[in-house]
Structure 1
């Protein structure tokens, strides 16, 4: 891929590690390009993605040196926005392991994930207004869906940074795990996902990403397809057979 992104096949999932430790994994154009390339692969392979950062930092923001040189035409291209939208729309779940700083564009990358795991050193938020810009790569609409209007407004309008415990209490992360065990915890989640029906997992993600106006019709349409699938028949038959075997064993005692 690139020196800025290490991609490893871990069987049940693909691990992508932001690897610009000298820049605290700041998101630059090269990293955006390789993330797009990874998305192109995962849109076809349909694998769970785990995103992490190297050097005790997830991503301390976008590359300020590059941002300073960008102008109105660059803003309208949505360089980071389009990348994070693509990550959000991947067919299988995306898990973010948030160690250390996840600020600015790094926070917005985290918001694009389906599942976020924090570590005790997590510092997450959007200080963009202090740099004369706004959080324009997803925070203004994704963050309030995650933590609610009140906290999202305070974070975005004041630049408030949340620590690990605050992020957990707000539902911004689902759990806090020690840094040395966080990736293993993400792998456990990915392994669990791998035991489930991929079609049902992908249908669930599509329903979760759908706007409120699409419900409940989208669930009914997705369920109609799954009700006709051979995999549903196989899994339910196996479940009933196991339950029957357990009952027979209990009755024979």
Structure 2
């Protein structure tokens, strides 16, 4: 689809055909672009996709890079795979199958960008909530219809969504089944940018470019300290800054800045 068209030089990719069954993965020196790819079920998140996303996380934990997550075929993710979800029992819920993955994605060392196109519902929405940035196409539809299916959104929406949009809007989405369109999601700051579908991935890569221009160590530490518990500040900030004050990149970047000012 048009929304999957990215300029050839946008990210030098190193894809491995057939590496995954539910994901398409493009690797670049400073980023990974992962596309959810189960078009026959609107990219519903099943156990195989969960397992493969854990492999992606393990790779990014070993070699930190920016992660872009999108969906193939004009849809981000229509939710968890209902056929599998219907068969899960209490023991499965206690394992935290989806919440464990989404927490791991949220904790990745470098920023995560969710590029949302079409449906981003249920587990798909919760995956997006775990990202550091959410940008959307004009076709996006975001929401959590789990209570209509007799369950709750237990993979992060019950607490992440309120942090992102506030309690009143979060309750309207979770308890009353409200589905947000692109303009509504932008108005409540659930997404920060809206683009035409054909420009969405280029915008995601442009955002990744801006992130990549920052010092990687400073970016990683800033993300880590940003999510530290409230009572950890300001000590965590001071300790992190102490590390960066001794880094070679700090001296090199500040020297370059001062040299530019002399010109």
TM-score range (shorter-chain normalised) is: over 0.9
SS in 2 for 1:97: strand
Which residue of structure 2 lines up, in the alignment, with residue 23 of structure 1?
A: 41
Radius of gyration: which is bigger? Answer: 1
How many angstroms apart in 2 are the aligned matches of 1:94 and 1:148?
22
How many angstroms apart in 1 are the aligned matches of 2:152 and 2:231?
28
C-alpha deviation, 1:13, in angstroms: 1.1
Which residue of structure 2 lines up, in the alignment, with residue 56 of structure 1?
A: 74
Is 1:94 equivalent to 2:112 in the alignment?
A: yes
Which residue of structure 2 lines up, in the alignment, with residue 248 of structure 1?
A: none
Match of 2:260 among 221, 236, 242: 242
SS in 1 for 2:224: helix
Is 1:77 equivalent to 2:84 in the alignment?
A: no
How many angstroms apart in 1 are the aligned matches of 2:170 and 2:229?
19
Which residue of structure 1 lines up, in the alignment, with residue 184 of structure 2?
A: 166
Which residue of structure 1 lines up, in the alignment, with residue 10 of structure 2?
A: none
Which residue of structure 2 lines up, in the alignment, with residue 192 of structure 1?
A: 210
* 4+ long deviations beyond 2 Å: none
How many angstroms apart in 2 are the aligned matches of 1:179 and 1:10?
23
1:68-217 → structure 2 map (5 Å cutoff): 68-217=86-235
Which residue of structure 2 lines up, in the alignment, with residue 8 of structure 1?
A: 26
How many angstroms apart in 1 are the aligned matches of 2:28 and 2:40?
26
Which residue of structure 1 lines up, in the alignment, with residue 236 of structure 2?
A: 218
Q: Mean alpha-carbon deviation: is it higher for 141-150 or for 207-216?
A: 207-216
How many angstroms apart in 2 are the aligned matches of 1:215 and 1:60?
38
Over aligned residues, Cα RMSD in angstroms? 0.8
Which residue of structure 1 lines up, in the alignment, with residue 12 of structure 2?
A: none
SS in 2 for 1:162: coil
Report the TM-score when normalising by structure 2: 0.92
Aligned residue pairs total 245
Higher RCO, 1 vs 2 (CA within 8 Å, ≥6 residues apart):
2
C-alpha deviation, 1:220, in angstroms: 1.3
